[in-house]
Chain A
Amino acid sequence: MPKEDSTIFSSYQRDPSLFDEIYDKKGQVKEVYKTLFQLYGGHSIPDYMTLNEKARSSFFNQGITFQVYDDKQMQEKIFPFDLFPRIIDGKEWEIIEKGAIQRSRALNLFLWDIYHEKKILKQGVVPLELISSSENYLHQMMDVDPPGGIYNHISGTDIIKHNDGKYYVLEDNIRCPSGVSYVICNRTALKRALFGVFNHYETHTVTNYAENLLDLLESVKPHGADVPNTVVITPGMYNSAFYEHSYLAKTMGVELVEGRDLFVENDFVYMRTIKGPEKVDIIYRRIDDQFLDPLEFRADSSLGVPGLFSAYKKGNVTLANAPGTGVADDKAVYTYMPEIIKYYLDETPILNNVHTYHCSRPKELAYVLDHIHELVIKPVDEAGGYGISIGNRLTKKEIATVKKQIQEHPRKYVAQPIMSLSVHPTYIDETNSFEQRHVDLRTFTILGKDKDFVLKGGLTRVALKKGNLIVNSSQGGGSKDTWVLK
């Protein structure tokens, strides 16, 4: 049992080989964390346990849960949330923000190019087979002009801090990046449990996301829609991200629809309301490309709307993100980001890219096969942290299997040096104390016509298992509130 007089930080152990975000180079608690450290350190263990319970019930009551099935019964669980926030000071944030916008803009120009003139491919800056062999390339999008010229309206950029203290981008998510609702819920839960700590810091709000999203979506309305009617389309209430879909619809004040609520007539999209059909102009879609329209893509899709793509091609409806953006968030395209940014914007990347070896190139393939033990091997087209092998964790037998897989499908794999994610003090239930855990950061960027927006904050994801580097919620990750200071 914890002793009454010991505080939650008294047993915090620092592993010097890890980059701990709350300490400076000299091993002192950083200036920005000092107050926080003191405030949290003032709590006794039982006291903190109560607070933690409060935060949990806040999520539970808000209904921010996912469902798991055990033996017979369905159970609701919350996404683990850590009460100790991560702080990013204003100057550091500026770099992240500029870097995220730069990447989103470059990717947007890249998408326009590869679905129109393909200059970048013709000039050999990015190899043609990278695109032609991608499963996410939609030939149907060729020569289609998305309203406002925007493809990746919403981007989620996954960023880490390496042990050199610099930020690196791990991934650009520009299909249907999720998680933004958790940024806001985390803030709400933290306020409910520990409102006092906010008095000591000036933190940017995160609740302005929805208004900016609606504003920027409306900036790319289809031609002829004066007062555009926007909707969010969801696969339905049993989807694991349904809470987020409903949250976004509610906070934007727009309808949340399912495929069956919409229909297309004469290439215009309508929704079925209690007063008959109503025209829809902008669709923030949270269903994948392949399910959008059974007439054009997967014929067995019951989630989509027959004829939707045809309406889109005619320019009568905006889809955000545009179909076919997946081709650019492919992990192989990621490795060309410095070239892509240079090519379209004539700028050097603000955020670092992790050096990547392409197994499709014979020379690099040979290097990868020789150095597996010091590399992370990733399939180029998997999401959610699946299929990743971390070289120094593999047994000899496993290394042999991975090698074989790579040799069979070299195009399917890329390799990167093992990046060490920074760590952050995280409350661990089992030991009732704070321990170091690896974290990353997902930022949310919105592009509109001549406008952009980055949410000041983001989703700090925590790998709750000791030593684990994979932070995805589907693999037992939690999250933290993230403060960007004014």
Chain B
Amino acid sequence: MLARVANNLFWMGRYIERSEHIARYMHVNYFSSLDAPNELSRSRQFVLNSMLRMIGDPEAKENEVLNEEEVLFKLALDPAHPFSILSNVKYARENANSARDLISTDLYESINKFYHFVLKYPEQHFLKKGLYDFCINIIEMSSILRGRIRSTLLHDEVYAIIMLGVNLERANQLIRIINAKYHDALNAQGSYGDKFSKSFEWTTLLKCAESYDMMRRFYKKTPTSLTTLEFLILNPNCPRSMMNSFNQIYTHIRVLDNSFKYDKDSTAFLVGRVRAEYQYKYVEEIEGNIKEYIEAMLKNLADIGNKMENEFFHY
């Protein structure tokens, strides 16, 4: 596979995954805030700020009042904003275009339909009453794309590259979401006696990561900071967890580099090392130091991305 095209496919995977996370974060937060148990979590400003934090945009300055429609537009349909869902889908399609000969017709057609759906979505409808419809469609269409990636592509290097993009991005987004909700949980403390460890925000966090139902089944208890983080970071059986993503990344990087003896400068070596680190961690270590761990995990992922770039995409 051409190095240039590999790079494009890797980013196609990332952009697809990214748009899905933004869509889910938007609608889950917005709707869960509508009847949240405490006043702060119910406030619109709180939710809008949380959305901005998640996509890495500067939050509102003190005394600044965010405009709901502006924020929603920015995240969803703003063509000028590089992190909007529209931009992500556009980039995903552009990358798919350049690799059209390598991906299946079915996959391409789905990406194309996805793009036209977002492009044609009427702005006013979205702002006034389409939030749920829009977000749910994005989530469904990205599920279709993942299904087509899995079931209409030969599971070879092309597939491995796309899956590396998907999983690296999934891990990245998960950390961003944890980070944003961790802030929310800190901020929402105190009102109505809401404790950090038992904050309502942990439920929202799990829903944002599409893991709430799975988590309930696993613990059979109301989520706390400890169980939520354990589930989302360390549980290898939760398909959305950090650990699961690392396992996936490891599997797919071994398709590209199946050497028996590791080169210590290779991506596969780094992935193996990082994965091992999280395999033997326990949640109390993390929970006490969430901020530090979030930064460390983001750095790990960035390092893996850079290594891949140098090893495979350098052309």
Which chain A residues (249-281) contact chain B, with CB distance < 8 Å? 249-250, 254-258, 260-261, 271-274
Chain B interface residue bracket vs A: 20 to 34
Interface flags, A145-187, vs B, CB<8A=1, else 0: 0000000000000000000000000000000000000000000
A232 nearest CB neighbor, chain B only? B101
Q: Does A62 contact B (CB under 8 A)?
A: yes
Q: In the complex, how many angstroms separate the beta carbon of B57 from the nearest chain A beta carbon?
A: 25
Q: Does A367 contact B (CB under 8 A)?
A: no
CB-defined A-B contacts under 8 Å, sample of 22: A60-B112, A60-B116, A62-B105, A63-B100, A63-B108, A63-B109, A243-B100, A246-B97, A247-B100, A250-B100, A255-B2, A255-B5, A256-B100, A260-B4, A261-B4, A261-B5, A271-B2, A272-B4, A273-B1, A273-B2, A274-B157, A274-B161
Q: Does A237 contact B (CB under 8 A)?
A: yes
Contact B102 A63 (CB under 8 A): no
Chain A residue total in the interface (Cβ 8 A): 24
Interface flags, A56-91, vs B, CB<8A=1, else 0: 000011110000000000000000000000000000
Residues of A within 8 A of B157 (CB): 274
Q: Does B280 contact A (CB under 8 A)?
A: no
Q: Does B3 contact A (CB under 8 A)?
A: yes
**Distance of A62 Cα from B6 Cα, bound (Å):** 22
| Contacts known (A261-B315, A272-B2, A273-B2); A255 close to B112, Cβ less than 8 A | no
**Distance of A271 Cα from B6 Cα, bound (Å):** 13
B7 nearest CB neighbor, chain A only? A274
Residues of B within 8 A of A237 (CB): 94, 97-98
Residues of A within 8 A of B196 (CB): none
Q: Does B113 contact A (CB under 8 A)?
A: yes
B interface list, Cβ under 8 A from A: 1-6, 94, 97-98, 100-102, 105, 108-109, 112-113, 116, 157, 161, 256, 312-313, 315
Contact B2 A257 (CB under 8 A): yes
Contact B98 A273 (CB under 8 A): no
**Distance of A272 Cα from B113 Cα, bound (Å):** 32
B157 nearest CB neighbor, chain A only? A274
Total A-B residue contacts, Cβ distance less than 8 Å: 67
Contact B4 A258 (CB under 8 A): yes
Contact A246 B100 (CB under 8 A): yes
**Distance of A153 Cα from B300 Cα, bound (Å):** 52
Q: In the complex, how many angstroms separate the beta carbon of A261 from the nearest chain B beta carbon?
A: 5
Could you say which of A63, A246, A255 has the most chain B C-beta atoms within 10 Å of its C-beta? A63
Contact A274 B108 (CB under 8 A): no
Interface flags, A321-357, vs B, CB<8A=1, else 0: 0000000000000000000000000000000000000
Contact B112 A274 (CB under 8 A): no
Residues of A within 8 A of B5 (CB): 255-256, 261
Residues of A within 8 A of B1 (CB): 255, 273-274
A243 nearest CB neighbor, chain B only? B100
Residues of A within 8 A of B113 (CB): 61
**Distance of A257 Cα from B2 Cα, bound (Å):** 8
B111 nearest CB neighbor, chain A only? A63
Q: In the complex, how many angstroms separate the beta carbon of B307 from the nearest chain A beta carbon?
A: 13
Q: In the complex, how many angstroms separate the beta carbon of B58 from the nearest chain A beta carbon?
A: 28
Contact A62 B2 (CB under 8 A): no
Could you say which of B2, B94, B102, B113 has the most chain A C-beta atoms within 10 Å of its C-beta? B2
The listed residue (A63, A243, A246, A261) touching B2 by CB distance below 8 A is A261
Known interface pairs A60-B116, A61-B113; 12 further A-B residue pairs with C-beta atoms within 8 A, sorted by A's residue number: A62-B112, A237-B94, A255-B5, A256-B5, A261-B4, A261-B5, A272-B4, A272-B315, A273-B2, A274-B2, A274-B3, A274-B256
| Contacts known (A63-B112, A261-B315, A274-B256); A250 close to B6, Cβ less than 8 A | no
**Distance of A246 Cα from B98 Cα, bound (Å):** 8
| Contacts known (A250-B102, A272-B4, A273-B1); A260 close to B116, Cβ less than 8 A | no
B161 nearest CB neighbor, chain A only? A274
Residues of A within 8 A of B109 (CB): 61-63
Residues of B within 8 A of A245 (CB): 101
B113 nearest CB neighbor, chain A only? A61
Q: In the complex, how many angstroms separate the beta carbon of B306 from the nearest chain A beta carbon?
A: 16
**Distance of A232 Cα from B157 Cα, bound (Å):** 20
Residues of B within 8 A of A274 (CB): 1-3, 6, 157, 161, 256, 312-313
**Distance of A38 Cα from B101 Cα, bound (Å):** 40
B112 nearest CB neighbor, chain A only? A63
B160 nearest CB neighbor, chain A only? A274
The listed residue (B4, B101, B105) touching A249 by CB distance below 8 A is B101
The listed residue (A246, A271, A272, A273) touching B101 by CB distance below 8 A is A246
Residues of A within 8 A of B105 (CB): 62, 250
Could you say which of B101, B109, B113, B157 has the most chain A C-beta atoms within 10 Å of its C-beta? B101
Residues of A within 8 A of B102 (CB): 250, 256
Residues of B within 8 A of A260 (CB): 4, 315
| Contacts known (A62-B112, A261-B315); A256 close to B4, Cβ less than 8 A | no
**Distance of A256 Cα from B2 Cα, bound (Å):** 9
A256 nearest CB neighbor, chain B only? B101
**Distance of A272 Cα from B131 Cα, bound (Å):** 44
**Distance of A94 Cα from B312 Cα, bound (Å):** 51
Q: In the complex, how many angstroms separate the beta carbon of B92 from the nearest chain A beta carbon?
A: 13
B100 nearest CB neighbor, chain A only? A246
